[in-house]
Amino acid sequence: MSGPRPWKKTKEGAPRDYRIFRVREDEVEDPRNGSLHTRVYIDSVDWVNVIPVTAASQVVLIRQFRFGTGSNTLEIPGGMVEPGEDPAAAAVRELEEETGYRPQEVRPLGWVHPNPALQGNRCFSFLARGCEKVHDGRQDAGEDIQVVLRDRADIPELIRAGEITHSLVICAFHLDSITRP
């Protein structure tokens, strides 16, 4: 598949570390005319999202405050993949840490680039079946998560009604719908 030519990086800026990601400004050259432009790059590890489903076909959702929107959001569990960690293991870890639920089976659904204009990382989505509550969860410092159970059949309406608005969560549900056997 042909397309526009790649832009050559002529200068890489010094990164600023914000713990969960690093930001830098790079200088790149326009392949059409050689003009130089500054572009922001956000360097982040890969992420995971997991759709946890109980034996009773309830989805284990989480409600938490998000600083970007200044509001509570309804989402699925997820988080960062630790260096050297398998994304499926990260999904199981994040699910249990945030909710206290443990799955019997985990199936990959696929991955997306969260924002290829600024980032190079991927967000992997998984379906976790047979989830059972084994404890109350072990939230990270700075997290305040409420677990919410909803019937799996309710998810499309929660998205249509704007109760689920996180784009990566909606992507995970879409990947589930197109990969379901």
Task: Please write the tens of the pLDDT for every residue from 73-125.
Answer: 999 999 999 999 999 999 999 999 999 999 999 999 999 999 999 999 999 99
Whole-number Å distance between alpha carbons of 115 and 76: 19
Tokens of 71: 């509001």
Q: What pLDDT score does 140 carry?
A: 81
Residue 70 is part of a domain; what is its CATH number?
A: 3.90.79.10
Whole-number Å distance between alpha carbons of 147 and 145: 6
Q: What is the mean pLDDT of the chain?
A: 95
φ, ψ (nearest 5 deg) of residue 78: 180, 180
- Give the global pTM: 0.93
Q: What pLDDT score does 22 carry?
A: 96
Q: Are 129 and 53 in contact (CB under 8 A)?
A: yes
Q: Does 179 have pLDDT greater than 90?
A: no
Q: Does 51 have pLDDT greater than 80?
A: yes
Among the listed residues 28, 35, 32, 26, the one whose alpha carbon sits nearest the alpha carbon of residue 8: 28
Among the listed residues 178, 142, 168, the one whose alpha carbon sits nearest the alpha carbon of residue 76: 168
Is 3 within a domain?
Answer: no
Is 1 within a domain?
Answer: no
Q: Which residues pair with 52 in a beta bridge?
A: 128
Question: Does residue 52 sit in the same domain as residue 139?
Answer: yes
Q: What is the mean pLDDT of residues 40-58?
A: 97
Q: Does 181 have pLDDT greater than 80?
A: no
Instruction: Please report which helix (H) or strand (E) contains residue 28, including its range.
Output: strand 22-29
Question: Does residue 93 sit in the same domain as residue 146?
Answer: yes
Question: Does residue 116 sit in the same domain as residue 141?
Answer: yes
Q: What's the domain range around 33?
A: 8-43
By DSSP bridging, strand 47-54 and strand 123-133 are: parallel
Band of pLDDT at residue 27, cut at 50, 70 and 90: very high
Question: Does residue 53 sit in the same domain as residue 36?
Answer: no
Band of pLDDT at residue 135, cut at 50, 70 and 90: very high
